[in-house]
Every structure is written in structure tokens, then in C-alpha cells.
Amino acid sequence: MPPYLLGLRLSGRRVLVVGGGRVAQRRVPALLAAGADVVLVAPEVTPSLESLIDDGRVTWLQREYQRGDCAGAWLVQAVSDDGKVNAAVAAEAENARVWCVRADDADASAAWTPASGQVGETTVGVLAGGDPRRAAGIRDAVVDGLRDATLEARHSRHKPTGVALVGGGPGDPALITVRGRQLLAQADVVVTDRLAPRELLDELPADVEVIDAAKIPYGRTVTQERINDYLVEHARQGRFVVRLKGGDPFVFGRGAEEVLHCAKHGIPVTVVPGVTSAVAAPAAAGIPVTHRGVAQDFHVVSAHIAPDTPASTVDWAALGRSEGTLVLLMAVERMSLIAATLMRYGRSSDTPVAVVQDGTLPGQRALTATLGTVADEMAAAGVRPPAIVVVGDVVNVAREIDMIRADMGRDP
């Protein structure tokens, strides 16, 4: 007979969990998230469970199971490593007419725990005839469809309104956030820029209007004022507008300017942070921006204005004196002057430098140099934007990792 699937509202209700191992470690957090009053019976528990106990979120009876422990429980989870103990717990629960889940024997269990997932306010629960792996696979497929909005977009009763300012991440379309992908799939209009993950646009329905708001360095550009107007014009027509930007919209992305413009015109805006290329591009090349004993701080600098320009607000003297990592954005055309400035203010010409072009994309490439040679090496290699420049000893950490991997790969 098929089971009857039921959503239990456990807030404030006592749930007994017998066993403190890996199964309990998975199930207790879900019970707590449902508001259950969890009582755990086990001589020992995993470190993760101990942390929940220390926080006062779980009542721990540090002993073996005893008959009578099921009293007052609304639900029982028999998840110990001892089948005899689980059988005894299940028998007591059965006599007390309390639902009990046995982790070790699905056929002998009065109830099954579905493979579950949460996406927003939607809870997915899947049972597959007692086969937990198959249930988890189906659950994952449904949850993925909800997360990337391929299901939500077709069946949602609540269409978003206004504007969503979405950070698309550093370039690889797989690195956009789950929330960003959800909103993109529900858009009526997408206003996209040059560095946004454009492969995602191919997934949009044919009736979605895509507006190219690219700003090409030293080339064609759409003014920021016109982009602001696009957002307001379409939102006022009742269309849901996604402003898809590369990286994070609030990290040198002029996102706040767009939010301010919408706010002045009464347009609601949802801001979805993105993975900034300032951290992601170095990471994709194996370079940490901080490393214990090497760099305790890092500075992200927009170098679109040269150091000797009065309009520059960057304290290049302080950066030259510091020992932290420098991450330079938009520095390709000005690297010679930037390097000279940093050396003038104290950085050694031997300071390691890495340049990562097209970080996270299939065409990613990287070169390493020193502060004294990087400008010439970039020119010789034909480096072009977008490229991230990393200055500091963390570059040597990446080199060390590469050397270890190379040694491990050699034949003995």
C-alpha cells in the first residue's frame, strides 16, 4: 500500500531522537527548523550535535535508551546504530500510538522520512517506495527546477514587480546565485551589460525583451542615464525588469545609482548580490587574496583613473606602504604607471604580481611577473580587458600549490 504523505507542524511539540550519530546529525537540524522541541537520547553525539546542545537548542539525555522515553512525544526517530535498540524504540512508540521512523529498516518502520528540500516558501517531499537514493534524486531534480525558476516561472501565481538588480557573477554562468537565476527566469525585460553571463540569455523565453546596455572600453557605450531610464520606463508599464550586471552590482558596478534613480520614481528594487570578480578571478587561477602568515588584508581598487590624475581618490601612497594584497580592476591600460607609483611609495620591484584575464571563462589565462616587469610582460602577452591584477606575496602561494601538484604528478 502506498504511504500517506503528510506535512507535520511540529512547532513546540516534543520529538524524541534516539541515537547521536550521522543520521541524527542530518535529521535534527531539519526538526529544529520546523520548530520541534527535540530531546536526544544517546551516550555520545557527533561534534555538530554537541554544538546544537551547547547552544541550548537540543535537550540531551546522555545515556542509553530506556523504556518510557517515548512518553509525551508526538514523533519518534529511532536512528541509533543498534538495530535492537531501534526495534525496542519502535515497539514502545507503536504501543503508545506515536509515529516512529526507523532509520535502519524501512519495511519495519511505521513512517518514512521523505527526501525533502526547501525553496522559499515551498517544501518538497519525495517518497520512492522506501528507496532513499531514488527519492533524493527526484527531490534534487524538483528543487533544482524551483531554484532556477524553470518550474516556478511556469506555475507561479506571484509574478515579481518592479526591478531586480542582479549580480551575474564573474563570467561563468554557473556562478550566478540561485536567487539571481530565479528572478532572471521570471523577467519580462532584461537590461544586460557587457560583463554579464550572456549564455544565460539563451535560456529566456522568446517573448522576453533583452536590452543591450554594454559599455565597451574606448568604444560604443550606453550612457548610465539611458540605462536608468530603461529601468523606470519598463517597470512603469507593469513589466518585471531584471538589470543583469557582471560581478556584484555594488562593487564598482554603479548599482546604487540605479537603485537611487528607481527610488526617486517610486519603483521598488530587489538587490541580489553577485560573486565579485575581484575575488573570484584570482580564486579561479588558484590565488587566495588572503593567506595565514602571508596577508591579513586585501584592498580592491578601481584603476580606471590613473594615479596621477586629480580625480583619483585612491591613496596610492598608503597602498605602496602596505603589505596587504592589492586587487586592481580596470588596470590594463594604466599598469605601467600604477606599478611605478607603487614602487615609488615603497613596494619592492620584486613584489610578485599575477594577471588573470577572462577569469572563470573558458578562455581564462594567467601570467605571473613582478611589479618591476609586469607592464612589459602584459604588453608582450597581449593582455586585454577584462583582467584582474593581483599584487602581493599571495601570488607565491599559488605557485607553491602548482609546484606541489606538479611533483605529485611526476612518475616515481
The residues that are catalytic are: 193, 215
| CA distance linking residue 368 with residue 391, whole number of Å | 10
Instruction: Determine which helix (DSSP H) or strand (DSSP E) holds 77, and give its type and residue range.
Output: strand 75-78
Backbone angles phi, psi at 406, to 5 degrees: -65, -40
What letter represents residue 32's amino acid? L
Under 8 Å between Cβ of 222 and 236: no
Phi, psi dihedrals of residue 312, rounded to the nearest 5°: -70, 130
Tell me the torsion sign for CA atoms 344, 345, 350, 352: negative
DSSP string, 240-299: -EEEEESB-TTSSS-HHHHHHHHHHTT--EEEE----HHHHHHHHTT--S-BTTTBS-EE
Place of cell 500517506: 4
Quick check: helix, strand or coil at residue 58?
coil
With cell 557582471, the residue in question is 246
CB atoms within 10 A of CB 297: 11
Kindly report whether the peptide bond that precedes residue 386 is cis, defined as omega within 30 degrees of 0.
yes
* Crossing angle between the packed helical segments 178-185 and 132-147, to the nearest 10 degrees: 60
**CA angle 162–165–169, rounded 5-degree value:** 150
Nearest to 296 by CA among 393, 396, 402, 371: 393
Measure CA of the first residue to CA of the last residue in the chain; give whole Å. 60
> What's the grid cell of residue 197?
553571463
